[in-house]
Structures are given as C-alpha cells and as structure tokens.
C-alpha cells in the first residue's frame, strides 16, 4: 500500500483512483485525486455509478480532468489496473483513446 501512495515522478502529476460498492443495491461510488509533483493534493472528483463500471469510470474521469488542466506527464495509480485494462466495456475503450493523446502516460 505504501508504494500506491508515493509522489509522482518530477514534473509529473499522478491520479489515484478507487471505488467501493454496495452489492445489495448494485451501486458503487468512485473517486480520485490528482496529486502534484511533490505529492500534494491538487484536485479531486467523485460520482455514483453501477458496480460494473467503477474502476474504469474513475480512471476515465481522472484522465479527462487531468487533460483539461493541461498536464503533459501523467502517472496512473490504481490497485486494480489489470482487471480494468482487459475489460471490453465502453469506458475502457475510451481510456485507451485518452492514452494516445499528446501527452506521456504511465500505468
């Protein structure tokens, strides 16, 4: 867990995303923070969604927010990157499109 919370590389920003779910209602909450080059909080986001899209949607929202602020170097930090990456849901395809924009992205 300690590695998950480390500051980004010099001149980079970092997205930390996570989600939680309430199985009885098939609902989930997602959120994330964008941290600056020395690790401090810069901005964040949150939303409620269904349980099948939580991690991918959190990552997509983080990418959109980071891009809108004009950052050029981004590190993505999520505990479940593997399960998100290999899914076929629409949000994941959109995430891959964001990776090909004019910036550097590391996972």
- pTM (whole model) above 0.85: no
- pLDDT at res. 86: 47
- pLDDT at res. 46: 92
Ordered by start, the domain boundaries in the chain are 3-106
């004009």: which residue's tokens?
A: 70
- pLDDT per position as a tens digit, 75-104: 888 765 555 444 557 777 888 899 999 999
* Average pLDDT, rounded, for the chain: 80
Q: Between 4 and 39, name the one with better pLDDT.
A: 39
Give Cβ neighbours of residue 94 (< 8 Å, ≥ 6 apart). Answer: 60
């891009």: which residue's tokens?
A: 67
Q: Mind giving me the DSSP string for 13-80?
A: EEEEEEEEEEGGGTEEEEEEEEE-TTS-EEEEEEEEEETTSHHHHHHHHHHHHHHHTT-SEEEEEETT
Averaged pLDDT, 61-69:
92
As assigned by CATH, the class of the 3-106 domain is: alpha beta
Q: Between 23 and 82, name the one with better pLDDT.
A: 23
């Amino acid at each position: 867990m300690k590695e998950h919370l480390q500051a980004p590389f010099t001149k980079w920003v970092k997205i930390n995303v996570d989600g939680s779910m309430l199985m009885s209602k098939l609902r989930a909450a997602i959120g994330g923070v964008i941290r600056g080059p020395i690790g401090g909080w810069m901005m964040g986001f949150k939303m409620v969604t269904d349980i099948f899209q939580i991690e991918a949607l959190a990552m997509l929202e983080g990418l959109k927010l980071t891009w809108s602020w004009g950052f050029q170097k981004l590190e993505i930090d999520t505990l479940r990157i593997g399960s998100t990456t290999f899914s076929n849901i629409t949000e994941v395809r959109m995430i891959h499109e964001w990776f090909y924009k004019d910036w550097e992205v590391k996972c």
